[in-house]
A = this chain, B = another copy of it.
Amino acid sequence: MTARGHVHPVILCGGSGTRLWPTSRTIRPKPFLPLVGSRTLFEAAQDRVSDRTRFAPPIVVAGTQHCDLIEAQARGDHRIVVEPQGKNTAPAIALAAALLDPYDVMLVCPSDHHIADEAAFAAAAQAAATLAREDWLVSFGIAPDRPETGYGYLHRGEELPGGYRIARFVEKPDLGTARAYLATGEYSWNGGIFAFRAGHYLAELARHRPEMARLVGEAVAQGRKDGSRFLAAHEPFSRIEGDSVDYAVMENTDHAAMVPADMGWSDIGNWAALADALAGEPGLPDENGNVARGPADLDGCSRVLAMSDGPRISVVGLEDVCIVVAGDEVLVTTREGAQRVGKLPGATSQGKAR
């Protein structure tokens, strides 16, 4: 169906929908919400790989419960690989890889990130695909703009055409370490975007996580097609010990590379991050840095995000606060507190009776 040489986008639609609660819920998590601009994050993720001269139609990996949302927001030709259970990214990517030709280059993209500069993304994707064809396992290294302690970092090593070897993967650092990383200019955020040949990924997975690779193989062999969906078999998949692509493969392979990407990236990991992403949208923030989505009156406020699906939000005298009204829930959090939203009773008890 697609010319050999095309890059195969693999869009991951996992996620539990707690960190942007109450707007993001288990039944309609972050990828499927129009958080920035008028497109949902999933729609935008598809649009970034919509150039059919370069990209094949995407493979979307998701749980059963989100297939209807995916169909409703699909931009055109696509396949869905249904994970029987969430097992983190390494098995999800392996399912998609198993459906491709071993020499196909995959571009693995989370569906819940925001990328302001789509041209920069396209250029990085091109560089990553080129390295992948030379048998590198490539991670996007996001240019850091602050000493963020919530992400892993990539330390760049030897220069490669269009990128670098990864000298070292670094776990989430403390603030002092993050500041030092930022100062050197040698560190990038690990953005969770990857490119590699399908067969190369599966081979490295088999080497470093043989049991996982075996069970994915069984789940594919015992799986079945259902229209445009491929349903992996439940029983073998459920026995997988879940792990991330970073832990399972990237940190273990001796072919890890990175392409630098300075593209206005955000994982929109919490309400403060969304506020920042929205504050970068043209025309959105007022002269005091406030962003309102939905009816809102802000009096004497600075850097307030007010987001409502209906009721008016009136705010007096606040700074650096996010206020979210969705359904029958009202959330008010400081920027610092935004990281704790996913642990709130409302976020963790979704679907349970109050």
Contact = CB atoms under 8 A, between A and B. Distances in A.
Interface stretch (A156-164, A215-223, A308-316): A308-316
Interface stretch (A144-152, A279-287, A340-348): A340-348
A13 interface: no
B323 A321 contact: no
Contact of A332 (B22, B313, B338): B313
Contacts of A22: 314
A325 interface: yes
A316 B297 contact: no
Contact of A315 (B310, B316, B333): B333
B330 A316 contact: no
Contacts of A316: 331-334, 337-338, 340-341, 344
A351 interface: no
A332 B344 contact: no
A318 interface: yes
The interface size bin for chain A is 35 or more
Given A323-B330, A330-B323, A346 B312 contact: yes
A299 to B, nearest CB: 6
Contacts of A317: 333-334, 336-337, 340
A340 B300 contact: yes
B299 A311 contact: no
A226 interface: no
A22 B313 CA distance: 11
A345 B313 contact: no
Contacts of A346: 297, 312, 314
A321 B316 CA distance: 10
Contacts of A334: 316-318
Nearest to A332: B315
A35 to B, nearest CB: 19
A329 B344 contact: no
A329 B314 contact: yes
